[in-house]
Structure 1
Amino acid sequence: MVRRKLARLSHRAFQVGVVLKGVDGVLELLGSAALLLTTQTTIRRAVSLLTNEELAEDPRDYLANHVVHMAQQLSLRTQHFAAIYLFAHGAIKIVLVVGLLRGLRWSYPAALLVLTAFIGYQLYRLAYLPSLGLYVLTALDLAVVLLIWREWRHARAWHDKP
């Protein structure tokens, strides 16, 4: 009875984690489109509007100053790279999420491989530029990888039963 409840809870956590990855993928596609359709001048104006009040209160605000600096240094090449990166990242996630939610066998190992590669890249980035947000994202990705692994093991066991 307890084992069955834990299996249901794990399956529900798997579904929630995978759906969240899908939402993340859609947001990345939207971000990609926004980057491709937005001029650098518009980005700088938007950043200025979003940070003016904060900088008026505290001209040394680290986050606001960092965002302003990034917007001022944004090159067209970097903007296009970010858009392409977000598009590829989001599209891959959406394809994997559809496969996982449909229970397609190929999607489990593919998702494990891709998400593990993403985690590896995030760990590389964390080694050079620690970030609380990236630590949290990496931990969540690791949890989703473990849930996918568990779900795949159960799916294989279920398919292999005579």
Structure 2
Amino acid sequence: MKAETQQHRVLDRIFVVSLILKGIDGVLELIGGVLLLVIPADKIGTFAQLITQHELAEDPDDLIANAIRHAAGGLSASATLFGAIYLLLHGIVKVVLVWAVLRNQLWAYPWMIGFLLVFIGFQCYQLVVGFSWGLVALTVFDAFVAWLTWREYGFHRAARRSSPAPAMD
């Protein structure tokens, strides 16, 4: 019994840390979305060249630096707008759901699970299109957070069912 309680506490802490990481990610997505709205696409390309030039001077085949340059070089105004809208919507939803789940708002748990499942599906599609270990790690993390959210949701629902209704004055 004691081992179950200790495991429960550890999983609860992991759940909270995971939610906080998701929340931080949501805030970073909001910042990125705003930056994409206010910085023109050509300036992003110039900035990408500036931050990668030293690394590429040392190693012209650097995978990350070349990927940054390639991605920034192919940005159009419409792609930048799409990216900004995507990041802003994704970030807002993530921040709101994380905040609500951390405040034990029961309605937010199924929404968080659904949101995660949709993105897990999208990430699996992306893995079929082009494999990436980073995307595999993100997908596994999202699946783990979805499972932890489902688990916590079950505990909170059971606790609400077993507690007496508040007295009406």
Name the aligned partner's letter for residue 159 of structure 1: R
| 2:159 equivalent in structure 1 | 158
- 3-state SS, counterpart of residue 140 of structure 1: helix
Structure possessing the higher relative contact order (Cα contacts under 8 Å, 6 or more residues apart): 1
Tell me what 1:73 maps to: 74
CA-CA distance at 1:82 after TM superposition: 0.3
Shift of 1:13: 1.1
Residue 3 (structure 1) shift:
1.3
Aligned residues between the structures? 162
Q: What are the ranges of 5 or more consecutive residues in structure 1 without an aligned counterpart?
A: none
**Could you tell me how far apart the structure 1 residues matched to 2:34 and 2:70 are?**
23
Distance in 1 (CA, whole Å) between partners of 2:103 and 2:30 is: 21
Query: Displacement of 1:111 after TM fit?
Result: 0.6
Give the match for residue 107 of structure 1: 108
Distance 1:144 1:3 in 2: 20
* Structure 1 letter corresponding to 2:149: I
Q: What's 2:167 paired with?
A: none
Structure 1 residue 36, shift from structure 2 partner:
0.6
Give the structure-1-normalised TM-score. Answer: 0.95
Match of 1:15 in 2: 16
Cα RMSD (Å) = 1.2
Deviation digits for residues 74-121 of structure 1, max 9, x if unmatched? 111000000000000000001111110111111111111111101110
Q: Aligned partners of 1:44, 1:15: CA distance in 2, in Å?
A: 37
Amino acid at match of 1:96: L
CA-CA distance at 1:147 after TM superposition: 0.6
Q: Would you say 1:43 and 2:44 are equivalent positions?
A: yes
Distance 2:63 2:12 in 1: 41
1:24 corresponds to 2:29: no
Report percent identity of matched pairs.
Answer: 42
Q: In structure 2, what is the Cα distance between the partners aligned to 1:55 and 1:14?
A: 40
- Work out the CA distance in 2 between the residues paired with 1:35 and 1:116: 27
**Structure 2: 5+ residue runs without aligned partners?**
164-169
SS of the residue aligned with 1:74?
Answer: coil
Q: Which residue matches 2:166?
A: none
| CA–CA distance in structure 1, aligned partners of residues 8 and 14 of structure 2 | 10
Superposition map of 1:74-153 within 5 A: 74-153=75-154
CA distance in 2, matches of 1:20, 1:32: 18
Give the TM-score normalised by structure 2.
0.91
Shift of 1:60: 2.8
Q: Please state how far the C-alpha of 1:34 moved relative to its aligned partner.
A: 0.7
Task: Tell me the SS of whatever aligns to 1:152.
Answer: helix
SS in 2 for 1:160: helix
